[in-house]
Structure formats: C-alpha cells, structure tokens
Structure 1
Amino acid sequence: MFKTNVGGLDRFLRIAAGIVLLALFFLYPEASWRYLALIGIVPLLTGIFGTCPLYSMIGLSTCPVKQP
C-alpha cells in the first residue's frame, strides 16, 4: 500500500522514541503534560510500518533500497 521510505536505523530510533514517550504517559499519570506524550504513537507506528507520510510528501527516503 505505502512504499517503504524509513531505513533500519531510522526505524529503530522511531520505535525507541515512541516507546519512551508512551512509557512517560503511563509512568506519570498525574502530570499536566501527560497527554502530550501520546504523540509517541506517531513515531511508533511509522517505525513499525516502515513508512512516513511526511517523508513521502517531501520526497525523502532513508531506506537503502532504491525506489522505482
């Protein structure tokens, strides 16, 4: 469906950042900034699926595989 445009290191960093942000959401239930940590869903999903809509819009790819 979507072309893979996120490379290996980029995917790892996105997944790690997403997990850290979501962990903050659950570790600090009383914090006023808690819901901002839900933004971690975005890098987590883009890392898991290997595609980034923003990269597609600007024509960027960190994937080492040549795109047709």
Structure 2
Amino acid sequence: MEAKLSTLTHSEVSMTANVGNIDRVIRLIVGIVLVVLPIFTTSTIWANPVIAYGAVIIGLVLIVTSALKFCPLYRILGMSTCQR
C-alpha cells in the first residue's frame, strides 16, 4: 500500500482576517476580564481550579484571536465578521 501525501496550497493554509473590528474589541474586553478576574478577585467561583484555569485559557484565546484578526472556528464554520 502506498501512502499519499496531500499538498496544501497557499490559499488552504492562509490566515485571512475573519474577525471584524467590533468583534475584536468585544473579544479583547471579555478576554482581559476572563484573565484578570480569577487572579484578582476572591469570589468563591474562582476557588475551583478548573473554572479559574479554564477562564484564563479562554481569555487568552480570545485575546490572541483578537490580536491576529483570525478565528480558526470562524474559518471552520465559514463565518466572517469583517466588513466587505
């Protein structure tokens, strides 16, 4: 049996911007809140490490997708919030 290697073209792997400006601002604000709240608040909800670390990870993902103007989930779903 032969294994075939597929070749990806540039258009299949490019990170075309798919996150619009309003979406970026919302992602950035929510991301910062999710990173800061577990660290600086003493609420009992953040006492559970799964919730605290989960919130920080989700917040970091939102901040990174906001900075890169690219969301892989949007790409998979064929969505874009950019104005055309």
Superposition TM-score tier, normalisation by shorter sequence? 0.7 to 0.9
Structure 1 residues 48-63: aligned runs within 5 Å: 48-63=67-82
Q: Deviations over 1:21-68 (max 9, x none)?
A: 001121137621321221211111111110000000111000113xxx
Partner of 1:31: 47
Give unmatched runs, 5+ long, in structure 2. 1-13
Please state whether the residue corresponding to 1:2 is helix, strand or coil: coil
Structure 1 runs of 4+ off > 2 angstroms?
none
Q: Calculate percent identity across the aligned residue pairs.
A: 40
2 CA distance for matches of 1:56 and 1:9?
Answer: 18
Q: Is 2:21 the partner of 1:4?
A: no
| Aligned residue pair count | 65
Q: Is 2:42 the partner of 1:42?
A: no
- Structure 2 length-normalised TM: 0.69
Partner of 2:6: none
Give unmatched runs, 5+ long, in structure 1. none
Please state whether the residue corresponding to 1:64 is helix, strand or coil: coil
RMSD between superposed Cα atoms in Å? 1.6
* Largest Rg, 1 or 2: 2
